[in-house]
């Protein structure tokens, strides 16, 4: 029997008079890749922020690993996240940025960070400051930050932004390899090919409404 790792029930989110999430209910199965297609402003990012505990929702309920977000816990545990452009310290190298971030939870070693950077196609020995990185390099570093502590769940909003064709192919292979390790991945993109290539389940988001369009 399939195990539900994230459950969203009758979720709404209002910004003043604007209803950006409209009574959304969806269950995300553990160990699968779930994709959400939608244009900018469709509600994808707001939905992900609510699931991650970054934004309070107006009504409804979100459970991650059976814990209610905003009640049992403020933020879900063991989740790797990319939402909007990753924020890094511009005068530090990529390796030093990840070292600083890893010091919060103290779960991984410097060797783990080096290995993760190589997985996303970055050189951990490079002294180049992140402020000098291209958009694609920053995105790779953001993906490294999301996966470096070996989370059970990945929530990735437009993770292919700024990547060239080779970079997109590299990240698709990486996400599939992580899924082979039983990781649950939620992926939002305006690029239909990213979603259809990778995902077991696909949803369309439009004006705050979520509609299933592909299932296994």
Stated pTM of the model: 0.94
Structural domain count, the chain: 2
Query: Tokens 């700024």 appear where?
Result: 162
Check residue 193 and give its pLDDT: 86
Check residue 216 and give its pLDDT: 66
Distance CA 81, CA 104 (A): 15
Distance CA 171, CA 95 (A): 19
Average pLDDT per consecutive 10 residues, the chain (216 residues; last block may be shorter)? 92 92 97 94 94 96 96 94 87 97 93 97 97 95 97 96 93 95 94 88 95 84
Distance CA 8, CA 27 (A): 6
Check residue 23 and give its pLDDT: 96
Tell me, yes or no, whether 98 and 116 share the same domain: yes
Tell me, yes or no, whether 183 and 123 share the same domain: no
Domain with residue 188: its CATH number is: 3.40.50.300
Longest CA–CA separation in the chain, Å:
50
Find out whether 4 and 27 touch, Cβ atoms under 8 Å. Answer: yes
Tell me, yes or no, whether 14 and 66 share the same domain: yes
Check residue 1 and give its pLDDT: 61
Number of helices and strands in the chain (H, E): 6, 10
Check residue 2 and give its pLDDT: 79
Domain final residue pick, 113, 130, 151: 151
- Domain that includes residue 189, residue range: 1-78+152-216
């Amino acid at each position: 029997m399939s195990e539900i790792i994230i459950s969203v029930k009758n979720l709404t989110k209002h910004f003043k008079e604007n209803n950006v999430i409209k009574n959304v209910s969806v269950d995300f199965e553990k160990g699968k890749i779930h994709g959400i297609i939608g244009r900018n402003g469709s509600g994808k990012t707001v939905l992900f922020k609510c699931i991650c505990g970054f934004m309070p929702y107006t009504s409804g309920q979100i459970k991650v690993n059976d814990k209610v977000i905003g009640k049992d816990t403020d933020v879900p545990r063991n989740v790797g996240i990319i939402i909007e452009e990753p924020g890094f310290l511009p005068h530090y190298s990529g390796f030093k940025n990840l070292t600083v971030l890893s010091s919060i939870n103290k779960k991984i070693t410097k060797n783990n960070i080096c290995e993760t950077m190589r997985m996303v196609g970055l050189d951990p020995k490079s002294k180049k400051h992140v402020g000098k990185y291209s958009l694609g390099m920053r995105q790779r570093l953001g993906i490294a930050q999301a996966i470096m502590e070996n989370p059970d769940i990945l929530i990735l909003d437009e993770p292919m932004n700024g990547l060239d064709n080779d970079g997109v192919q590299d990240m698709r292979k990486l996400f599939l390899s992580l899924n082979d390790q039983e990781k649950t991945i939620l992926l939002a993109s305006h690029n239909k090919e990213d979603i259809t290539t990778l995902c077991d389940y696909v949803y369309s988001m439009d004006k705050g409404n979520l509609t299933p369009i592909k299932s296994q």
